[in-house]
Amino acid sequence: MPAAERIVIENCAVATVDAADTEYAAGHVVVADGVIEAVGAGPAPADPVAGAARRIDGSGHLVTPGLVNTHHHFYQWLTRGMAQDSNLFDWLVELYPVWARIDEDIVHAGAAGSLAMMARGGVTTAMDHHYVFPRGTGDLLGAEIRAAAETGVRFTAARGSMDRGTSDGGLPPDFAVESTDAALKATEAAIDAHHDPSFGSMLHVAVAPCSPFSVSTRLMTEAAELARRKGVRLHTHGSETVQEEEFCHELFGMGPTDYFESTGWLGADVWMAHCVHMNDADIAAFARTGTGVAHCPSSNARLAAGIARVPAMLAAGVPVGLGVDGTASNESGELHTELRNALLVARLGAGEKALTARQALRLATYGGAQVLGRAAEIGSLEPGKLADLVLWKLDGLGHASIADPVAALVLGPPAPVTLSLVGGEPVVEQGRLTRVDEEQVARLTRAQARRLAERAGLA
C-alpha cells in the first residue's frame, strides 16, 4: 500500500507522548502522505474518513509512537547464550576472539535477526553500534544497512571503531582493531556514502568509537572533530562499570565523564550507552551540555554492571532513551521488555516512585528520538510528524483486566502488535512482519551462528 494513501485508526486508546502527555481513552489517528494528519478524541473527522484508503477499528487497542532503540550490536544475535556468568570485562575477553571471525554474511544474518525481533515488537527506528571490522571480511556496515532496508525500519548506523589493542593497554586483542587512520578514513567514507539528513530519512550515520578502554585518545578527539565537520551525531559507551572507572583513572588520571569532556565528547550531538556509574557532578555535566544516554537495563543486569541513576538524570534534564544492547547480553532482543525492566530496576534503586509507566513509555519513544536527534520527526503522535506508530492489542488474556492501557503495555506481558507503521507503510500486520519471512530469517541466523562457531573453533 503506497504511503500516499490515507489511513484512519479510530476507537482506540491513544497515548501521544507529546509535551503535555496527552491521552485519549477513545480517539483516532489519521495518516496521509506518510505523516500524521490528525490526532484527537472520538471518531476521526468526516472529511479525512471520506478519502481514506483504509479504515481500522482499533477497539481494544492502544496506539503509541513507534519504539526507538538507541543502542545495539546486531552481530551479537549469533553469539547469544555465551559467557552467561561473567562481568563486562570477562565477557568481552571471552567473546572478542569469536567476534573477530565475523564476515559480511554473518553480519547480515545477525542484523536480519536483530531487526526482525525488534520490528515485530514495535520498534520503528533502530540503531546499531558496529565496531568490529576484521580485515578482508567484506562490507560489514553495508550488510546492516541492507538488512534494515529489507525490514523496513528507520536506521541509525553508528560506524564504530577500536584502535587500542592489548599491546597498547586496551582490552580487545590486537587482531580485532583497526589503525587510527584507517578507522577515521572508513568512518568518513561511511558518512559520505550513506548519511541522509533530509526530513523523513530512513538512514542516518553516526561516528562511534567503541569505548575508553578500546580507543586511543587521538581517535576519540579526531572522531569528534570529524562528526562535527560532517554534521552527524557521536556515540560511544560510557561509565558502564566500576572497572571502566578504574581504567580511566589509571590511564588518564580522571573519571570517564571528565575524560569525555577533555576529548570533546560532551554535547547536544552526543549520546552514550549505559552511564551506570554517574555521580552528581557527572549527571550535572551531561545536563549542562545536553549529552544523551542510552539506558540498557536488561544488559546492565545481565552483566551485573549496576543500576543507572535514570530518575536523577531525568530530574536534571538529561535526555534518556532505551536500548536493547547486544543480544549476547540481552538474549530477548526486544525493546518492549526494556520499558518494564527500566521501571522495575529504577524502583529497585530509588524507590516506588522512581519511574512511572508513562515515563517508561516516554523513554522508549520521545526520549529515544531526542538522543538520536530526531525529536522533530518522530517519538510522539502529533500532526506533521512522521507516521511511525504502533497499534498494540490489549484486549487479550494478558492485558484485558488492566484498565489503564499504558500500565497494561508497560507492566503487562509483551503486547501483540496488530499494526506497525513506518512513514505510513506497514512493517507488521497482525503480529507478523510484512517485509521479510520470519521463518527464513530464523533459518538464516541458525546457519550463520553455526558457521561463526565453526570459524571460531567452538563447534
Place of cell 586511543: 216
- Residue 347 phi, psi dihedral angles, 5° rounding: -70, -30
Any domain includes 2: no
> Is the confidence at residue 131, as pLDDT, over 70?
yes
Lowest-pLDDT range of 36-50, 298-312, 321-335 = 36-50
Residue 2 has a pLDDT of 41
Cell numbers placing 383:
500532526
Based on the fold, state whether residues 61 and 173 are members of the same structural domain. Answer: no
CATH at 145: 3.20.20.140
**318-345 residues labelled b (16+ CB within 10 A) or e (exposed):** bbbbbbbbbbbbbbbbbbbbbbbbbbbb
Based on the fold, state whether residues 267 and 227 are members of the same structural domain. Answer: yes
193-238 pLDDT, tens digit per residue, is: 999 999 999 999 999 999 998 999 999 999 999 999 999 999 999 9
Residue 328 has a pLDDT of 92
CATH at 409: 2.30.40.10
Pick the residue with more confidence: 51 or 137? 137
Based on the fold, state whether residues 283 and 403 are members of the same structural domain. Answer: no
Q: Are 283 and 318 in contact (CB under 8 A)?
A: yes
Any domain includes 458: no
Any domain includes 429: yes
- CA geometry: angle 325, 19, 383, nearest 5 deg: 95
Any domain includes 441: no
Based on the fold, state whether residues 166 and 302 are members of the same structural domain. Answer: yes
Any domain includes 457: no
- Residue 150 phi, psi dihedral angles, 5° rounding: -65, -40
Find the Cα–Cα–Cα–Cα dihedral 147, 153, 154, 156, rounded to 10°. -40
Region of 275 (left: φ > 0; alpha: ψ -120 to 50; beta: rest) is left
Q: Are 83 and 94 in contact (CB under 8 A)?
A: yes
Region of 60 (left: φ > 0; alpha: ψ -120 to 50; beta: rest) is left
Any domain includes 91: yes
Per the structure, the complete domain to which residue 47 belongs is given by 7-65+381-433
CA 340 to each of CA 39, 265, 343: distance values in angstroms, whole numbers, following the listed order:
26, 30, 5
Based on the fold, state whether residues 343 and 403 are members of the same structural domain. Answer: no
- The arithmetic mean of pLDDT across residues 339-362, rounded, is 98
67-114 pLDDT, tens digit per residue, is: 999 999 999 999 999 999 998 889 888 998 999 999 999 999 999 999
> Is the confidence at residue 5, as pLDDT, over 90?
no
